Amino acid sequence: MRTIIVDAGHGGPDSGAKGLESTEAAINLQVSLKLAKALREAFPDRKILETRTTSALPGYLSNAVAANRYRAEWANKMGGDLFIALHCNAAGRKPGGWYTQRVVGQVARTRYVKKGKKRVKQTYYVNNYENVWVENNTRGTETYIWAVGKNEQKVSAVKNNDDYYNEEEDSNEELKMPDPNDPAEKARMLIYAQHYFRKSYSLATLVEKEFIASGRTSRGVQQRNHKGIWVLQATGMPSILVEMGFISNRDEEAYMLSEPGQAEIVQGIVNAVKIYVERLG
Ligand SMILES: [Zn+2]
């Protein structure tokens, strides 16, 4: 392995998911700069390349979809042996939390129905509500790899889960998913399955293990093939996409914005890459 590509997700007009204090694009960039520096120190003989080092989209493009194609093409052109994308997750209605209404009792009201001699008094009840704060508690890390040949039904079931959304979906609407009937794409997917899947899975598992060791909540290795991780299959190399935490959770956003939090995330990924490289021999 000679060249590692570090890819800070989003950028420029594509902010990614929003937190209370920051955006995904900003956190991804901060951590990616530190990760690239740490990888250079850990692997002085290897080339460490970044898809972007500024707040702009890679290649200074103005379109998020074009930028995602650029990320993959650039990584391939640079002869990358490993692709590590950094992202933040989001869930729930709003970052931080939101108010909802809870019934705390009922109040009696009266009204008169009918007219003249038939007029009668009626009692009815209305609900008494109280505003209740719902903290956005979804938390944890996830590392994605491209799911080769995963059946589409399973994937759409995951996408329809209300509790979970991923803002990548929107910005990638125009990206074409690999067509399993196209011979060229079929061949490419076969190469991915034979050469890169196992390695990607192995590194993803190591990254999540490191996160667990540093006390994080791990949601594990996720194998999916939705558009948010399109870039993984477009790179001809083992590739992972690390969701470092939920920017929609105030604690995890604060952690990802903090010096110690960023250092811990970086150290975890570097440790995982070290073990991965040793195993490759
Ligand atoms: Zn993202």
CATH number at residue 240: 3.40.630.40
Q: Are residues 193 and 123 in the same domain?
A: no
Give the CA distances from residue 21 to residues 35, 54, 87, 244, 248, in Å, rounded to whole numbers and listed in that order: 22, 19, 16, 16, 10
Question: How far is ligand 1, taken at its centre, from the CA of residue 105, in Å?
Answer: 43
Query: Of 84, 107, 133, which residue sits at a domain end?
Result: 133
Q: Are residues 59 and 172 in the same domain?
A: yes
Distance CA 10, CA 257 (A): 17
Q: Could you read off the pLDDT of 164-196 as tens digits, one per residue?
A: 445 555 566 677 777 778 888 788 788 888 889
Distance CA 77, CA 267 (A): 28
pLDDT computed for residue 171 by the predictor: 63
Domain count within the chain: 2
Q: Are residues 274 and 226 in the same domain?
A: yes
Query: Of 74, 109, 133, which residue sits at a domain end?
Result: 133
Question: How far is ligand 1, taken at its centre, from the CA of residue 115, in Å?
Answer: 64
Question: How far is ligand 1, taken at its centre, from the CA of residue 89, in Å?
Answer: 7
Give the CA distances from residue 147 to residues 26, 37, 38, 218, 223, in Å, rounded to whole numbers and listed in that order: 28, 30, 29, 19, 5
Residue 155 tokens read as: 């994937």
pLDDT computed for residue 195 by the predictor: 87
Distance CA 152, CA 226 (A): 9
Q: Are residues 42 and 144 in the same domain?
A: yes
Q: Could you read off the pLDDT of 252-273 as tens digits, one per residue?
A: 999 999 999 999 999 999 999 9
Q: Are residues 36 and 156 in the same domain?
A: yes
Residue carrying structure tokens 């034979």: 194
pLDDT computed for residue 59 by the predictor: 95
Q: Are residues 21 and 114 in the same domain?
A: no
**Domain of 46, in residue numbers:** 3-95+138-280
Q: Which residues of the chain have pLDDT under 70?
A: 1, 149-173, 281
pLDDT computed for residue 115 by the predictor: 87
Q: Are residues 85 and 203 in the same domain?
A: yes
Ion ligand 1 residue ranges (Cβ < 5 Å) = 9, 16, 87, 168
Q: Are residues 59 and 114 in the same domain?
A: no
Q: Are residues 161 and 248 in the same domain?
A: yes
Question: How far is ligand 1, taken at its centre, from the CA of residue 15, in Å?
Answer: 9
Q: Are residues 210 and 224 in the same domain?
A: yes
Residue carrying structure tokens 């690390």: 242
Q: Are residues 273 and 188 in the same domain?
A: yes
pLDDT computed for residue 163 by the predictor: 43
Q: Are residues 197 and 178 in the same domain?
A: yes
